[in-house]
Structure 1
């Protein structure tokens, strides 16, 4: 049966960038290892310079961030010294592990070309990997499996589903797919994983006699195999996997231990995280901390 419908909420992540926030949700903190999901855009025009969309340097621990674009470009910089322009269809998998800081800038002339639109998810790490060395990997669209059928196109971003397997390195069993359905096409969820859901990026889906719309995520109980009917041309993001157990989340920090989050808060407050070497003149301060300069970005609120 359908376990839950999550309606996205509006959240601000920079001075001008507002997103639809899907996870975490008070009634559903995680789906498999996925603990966070934002949908940004589409942004086609903005009165101020595109730099007002920038997400200033900020820290993470205990998770992997996954950035996936439908349009536009984002410049990623991190404390490992990596600078990567992220383009549509690429998978950008940053594992924070013991700690990393990064920024997301929209300084390229192509940043808003065609309408900037991005999905970012966070994947919690298994306990054995929570303190792993941080890393960043960029995967090109040609590296990812694609499947087509009548009225159906899909790209396997990560994990395994429908007999396909992605080359993207993951730390636990999961699946993550970009699916495009033509109006009238039908589709089913993968059966390989115990926790499954999908987010409607655009369009609408009918299940039974009920229609669901863009901005909604549907979560299903184990063993249920619904038939999804596209009522119009529709884009979906499917995700899920195997649960990892309880995780705590505060701001940009995820951990199986509350005390580890407290340590990360103090480390960021005291400047013990390394900032990106070419992007270290401003940063987002710890929420509710006024002992450091605030930079140009509003302070985000803790997630829990």
Structure 2
């Protein structure tokens, strides 16, 4: 019934900030077009260390980064000149295409005072025809995203189409991405009609076919398998999936259908050919020392 159960692994993306990493995984690199998934927090960020946790400007190619917060606030700046604070329930959807750099900083006074931060970050691989598209950035407010409610069920469709709903978020391939909250005993299905589908348990636990699964696990299902998810207790889930786009290589922050393109991106970053954010260009993350070739397997520690 289940293709695979992926248990989160700890990854320190910057000193002092450890996240739960789900994708890529050695035995399952992608779920539909989703090639990367981190769950950060919940964590309190004291004023004394918040600046050390800022994610400095860094590059991407060949993907869209998707930031979704449960609590806290992060300031995004990118090569296009965008400055956007992302808040809980909003969606920051940045398409890197042929190349973009961005930073993520903790500037909200509440965060600096020790407030809590919890977020999910995913990367969505682009179809080959869109890998060299011009970079773009969109911020979507909660009121732009469809909501479904029923007895013991609350669901927000972040992106794509599911259960007869369609999100306003612009995507490049068929997919779905959902935030689901269930009360104990509630029953919920997963969208049908997609080749690959996953359910990540953010909080709580669920039953599938009588077996319990716990927070920190990503359950991956094939097309044609339509399980019923039963909340064993109050729980929060992220559901995601879509159509398989074919093989992708990943190295650091770069994703591409071509190994050679990733090698070019490395050199582009070294030579300064990927522009820094115009209002955040005094520092940046250099290319990692690891000069290995792009891999079809797990990436090294990765910043989004």
Tell me the TM-score range normalised by the shorter chain: over 0.9
Structure 2, unpaired ranges of 5+: 292-299
- Report 1:247-258 matches (<5 A): 247-258=248-259
State the 1:289 CA deviation. 6.6
- Report 1:1-304 matches (<5 A): 1-46=1-46, 48-111=48-111, 115-288=116-289, 301=301
Q: Given the two structures, how large is their TM-score scaled by the length of structure 2? A: 0.93
SS, match of residue 14 in structure 2: coil
Contact residue 193 and residue 223 of structure 2 kept, 8 A: no
Structure 1, unpaired ranges of 5+: 291-299
State the 1:248 CA deviation. 0.5
* Structure 2: distance between partners of 1:47 and 1:76: 19
* Structure 1: distance between partners of 2:58 and 2:39: 19
SS, match of residue 110 in structure 1: helix
Q: Assess, with a 3 A threshold, how the Cα gap between structure 1 residues 62 and 31 changes in structure 2: closer, same or farther.
A: same
SS, match of residue 38 in structure 1: strand
Q: Assess, with a 3 A threshold, how the Cα gap between structure 1 residues 226 and 114 changes in structure 2: closer, same or farther.
A: farther
Give a deviation string over 1:213-254, Cα, whole Å, max 9, x none. 111000012201111111111000000001111111100000
Between Structure 1 and Structure 2, how many residues are aligned?
294
Contact residue 13 and residue 302 of structure 2 kept, 8 A: no
Contact residue 161 and residue 192 of structure 1 kept, 8 A: no
Contact residue 11 and residue 301 of structure 2 kept, 8 A: no
Give a deviation string over 1:182-229, Cα, whole Å, max 9, x none. 011111111121210110000001112311111100001220111111
Contact residue 45 and residue 111 of structure 2 kept, 8 A: no
Contact residue 154 and residue 180 of structure 2 kept, 8 A: yes
Contact residue 98 and residue 133 of structure 2 kept, 8 A: yes
Larger CA deviation: 108-117 vs 97-106: 108-117
Show the counterpart of 2:297.
none
CA RMSD, 1 decimal: 1.6
* Structure 1: distance between partners of 2:51 and 2:189: 40
Contact residue 146 and residue 155 of structure 1 kept, 8 A: yes
* Structure 2: distance between partners of 1:45 and 1:77: 20
* Structure 2: distance between partners of 1:281 and 1:158: 34
Contact residue 10 and residue 20 of structure 1 kept, 8 A: yes
Q: Assess, with a 3 A threshold, how the Cα gap between structure 1 residues 18 and 302 changes in structure 2: closer, same or farther.
A: closer
* Structure 1: distance between partners of 2:140 and 2:111: 19
Contact residue 98 and residue 132 of structure 2 kept, 8 A: yes
SS, match of residue 52 in structure 2: helix
Contact residue 197 and residue 219 of structure 1 kept, 8 A: yes
* Structure 2: distance between partners of 1:118 and 1:104: 13
SS, match of residue 111 in structure 2: coil
State the 1:83 CA deviation. 0.4
SS, match of residue 266 in structure 1: helix
* Structure 2: distance between partners of 1:194 and 1:75: 35
* Structure 2: distance between partners of 1:288 and 1:163: 47
